[in-house]
Amino acid sequence: MSDFVNPTLITMFHDINRHTWSAFPRNTQAYIDSFDIFLQYDYDMIIYVDDKYVDVLQKRIDHYKSPNKRLVPINRQWLIDNLWSWSRLEQEKAVMASASYKELVKDRIAASYPENVNPEYTILTHSKIDVVNHAIDNYDVNEYVAWVDFGYFHNKTSTQFLPKGPFKADRFNLDRVNICLVNDIDERDSDLVYTLQQAPEKIGAYFFLANPTLMKQFQDYSHAWLVKFQEEYIICDDEQGLWLKIHFNHPDFFELHVFNKWHDAMRYFTV
């Protein structure tokens, strides 16, 4: 086996007007500018991007002469038409509007945490695995694929978290879905109410890697738990909540990489 893996990196940027949020805003231009860092590396990438920004990104790809970068234009209707998770948006809205949910997370709603007040945000986080599988189904991908957040880097001049080069095979368990932890998972995290109300930083969903077969299984698990959250438990959460339930119900499915910080994956997994 080779010492290295060459995953197809898959990402998406859909503009949900985060620059207008009263809490946890982020400037749209900062997202676009910080993505320049990826264009300076020779990684195979499939980039799903809001069609408002396709021309801007294409010019930047041309400027950096960045090879192996495929742009896929998207918009809100594209998401609805192509990604299963977006078919659950109305259910997500209904849960967030329910009296029981509002009471359960009232303190977090008061603080305007997006995973508790913005259904498009939570559905967007759940759609990561759908985007990965859309790429697998519709484009040529490599033996392994990885999701990486479009806004992985904080800004265009960031020197934190920079990849060092190719991905080192022995840093992964290639028979599992490799995910990143900000902090260790413990038994308290099996409790849905604890996770919803305390929202401890455990899973960093900014990067995950597996082979396409495992990504399909990951998608199946994610869909099943999203339906269960909405219809049985009457709750909403971002992807961390779902992934914790997958972990506790399928303890051998994920390979957990504990970094005790955010966004360290691309540095750690590369050499």
Tens digits of per-residue pLDDT, 131-148?
999 999 999 999 999 999
- pLDDT tens-digit profile of 36-51? 999 999 999 999 999 9
Classify 4-268 by CATH class: alpha beta
Amino acid letter, residue 114: P
Is this structure's pTM higher than 0.75? yes
What's the confidence (pLDDT) of residue 43?
A: 97
Amino acid letter, residue 265: A
Amino acid letter, residue 201: E
What's the confidence (pLDDT) of residue 1?
A: 67
Average pLDDT, the chain: 96
What confidence tier does 159 reach under pLDDT thresholds 50, 70, 90?
Answer: confident
